[in-house]
Amino acid sequence: MQTTGYHTVEDRTNPEEILASGPFLCVRENAWLGRGYYFWDDDLQRAHKWGQDAYRKKGYVVCKADLKLHNVLDLCDRKGKYHFNLLLEVIKSEFDEYQMREIPISNAIEHLRKISHTMANDAIFPFDSVRAEDYPADSMQPFVVGRSEAISLNPRVQICLFEKKSQNLCSFEIVYPENYV
């Protein structure tokens, strides 16, 4: 899969460093897809929204990257969701701490990556990235009046690369603010 990704970072008046070192690893505990390099999938508008919300005081920089996702776990795709659900069931059956509760997606991904790495067995979790979507309330459009069923016309789609490798990251450039371009 090939796509354009947008990476948003805090503006520290360091465009040269951003270009030389970017993208930057997200290690936040509440990162949706675990530890990795995050991109908005072909959605410059979401990259700006994230920058405005997350970096309100200092400002933000948006970078554009051409991404080639060779082994992506695509949770926007029905087959990818089915496969991941099977992996969740395996985790629940094998590990006592997960049997009685729901597993957050980020925890499951980190757990599967750790198992795969520890056992040196890529067959368990052969993915180098994850692509996932959610449906914010402002993107929902009802099918008919008076019913709760709706469709998201603008889901938020994120990509998380687990490693910064040249075969996944084909280019990286600043596209905002204009004085850095």
Beta carbons within 8 Å of 103's beta carbon, 6+ residues apart: 88, 91, 92, 111
Cβ(109)–Cβ(34) under 8 Å?
yes
Per-residue pLDDT tens listing for the chain (181 residues): 999 999 999 999 999 999 999 999 999 989 999 999 999 999 999 999 999 999 998 999 999 999 999 999 999 999 999 999 999 888 887 777 666 677 889 989 998 998 887 776 677 889 999 999 999 888 899 999 999 899 999 899 999 999 998 778 999 999 999 999 8
- Dihedral sign, CA of 63, 67, 71, 74? positive
CA distance 118 to 123: 12
**What predicted TM-score, i.e. pTM, was given to this entire model?**
0.90
